[in-house]
C-alpha cells in the first residue's frame, strides 16, 4: 500500500504533503504500539487511575454531559426554521385539489406508454 500511496501521491499531491503516506505511517505506528489505539488508551487510563470499567464509564458520561450542556449548536435555529417551512409546504400541498388516483394513474400510464 505504501508503494501505491507513493506513486499515486506524486500525481495527486505533487509538492504538497502526501496525506496517504502520512495516514499509512500513522496506521503502521498504531499496529506497532497498541497503546495508540482507542482501546489501548482506555486500558492505560483504567490502570493509571486505578478505575473499574464502571467508574471510567461514569467519568466519560459526566464529561459528555458537561460538553453537551455547554454546546452551542449554531445550526439549531436553521433547522427549526427549515422544519417550520417544510410543515407549511406540506400543508399547502395537502390542501391543493388533486386528481382522483384512478385518473392520475390513467394519465401517467398514457404518458409512459
Contact status, residue 19 vs residue 5, Cβ threshold 8 Å? no
The domain total for the chain is 1
- The three three-digit cell numbers of residue 101, written as one number: 388516483
- Give residue 86's domain range: 2-112
Average pLDDT of the chain to the nearest whole number: 90
Averaged pLDDT for residues 14-21: 84
The pLDDT of 8-24, averaged and rounded, is 86
d(CA 95, CA 87): 12
**What pLDDT score does 11 carry?**
84
The overall pTM is greater than 0.85: no
pLDDT in tens, 42-81: 999 999 999 999 999 999 999 999 998 888 777 888 899 9
Amino acid at each position: 500500500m505504501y508503494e501505491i500511496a507513493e506513486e499515486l501521491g506524486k500525481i495527486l499531491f505533487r509538492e504538497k504533503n502526501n496525506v496517504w503516506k502520512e495516514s499509512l505511517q500513522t496506521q503502521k505506528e498504531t499496529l506497532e504500539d497498541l497503546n495508540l489505539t482507542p482501546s489501548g488508551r482506555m486500558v492505560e487510563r483504567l490502570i493509571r487511575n486505578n478505575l473499574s470499567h464502571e467508574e471510567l464509564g461514569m467519568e466519560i458520561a459526566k464529561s459528555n454531559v458537561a460538553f453537551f450542556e455547554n454546546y452551542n449548536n449554531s445550526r439549531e435555529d436553521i433547522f427549526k426554521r427549515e422544519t417550520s417551512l417544510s410543515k407549511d409546504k406540506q400543508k399547502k400541498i395537502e390542501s391543493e385539489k388533486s386528481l382522483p388516483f384512478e385518473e392520475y394513474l390513467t394519465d401517467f400510464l398514457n404518458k409512459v406508454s
